[in-house]
Amino acid sequence: MRIPCPLCGPRDRREFTYYGSDDYLNRPSPDAGEAAWDDHLHLRANPAGETHDLWYHEAGCAQWLRVHRNTVSHEIYGAELVAGRKGDAQ
């Protein structure tokens, strides 16, 4: 399995650390209420198919990546940097 790092190019997955779903990028506001925070912290989809998740390129550029992949076919469609994403605060 190789992950196409936008900076370093395609690299072996052992250079990366897995974090979890990209839901973690969408943090509710502090006053969003218990249900929103419970959902953010604990409730995850377990898709058979396409998914987006977060990987850290530990042995390379030290950047967080949002990887688009398929849990059934193991195909990796692409990866983008989390830093500088549109709509995110810097």
Among 44, 47, 83, 88, binds another protein (CB under 8 A): 83
Provide the greatest CA pair distance for the chain.
41
| Least gap, CB of 83 to another protein (angstroms) | 6
The phi and psi torsions of 58 (rounded to 5 degrees) equal -65, -45
Which residues inside 43-82 make contact with another protein, applying CB under 8 A? 58-63, 81
| Least gap, CB of 46 to another protein (angstroms) | 31
Strand partners, 80: 66
* Range in contact with another protein (rule: CB under 8 A) among 2-10, 23-31, 43-51, 68-76: 2-10
The phi and psi torsions of 13 (rounded to 5 degrees) equal -65, -20
Q: Could you give the CA distance from residue 15 to residue 35 in angstroms, rounded to a whole number?
A: 36
Strand partners, 57: none
| Least gap, CB of 60 to another protein (angstroms) | 5
Binding site for another protein (CB under 8 A): 7-9, 11-12, 14-15, 58-63, 81, 83, 90
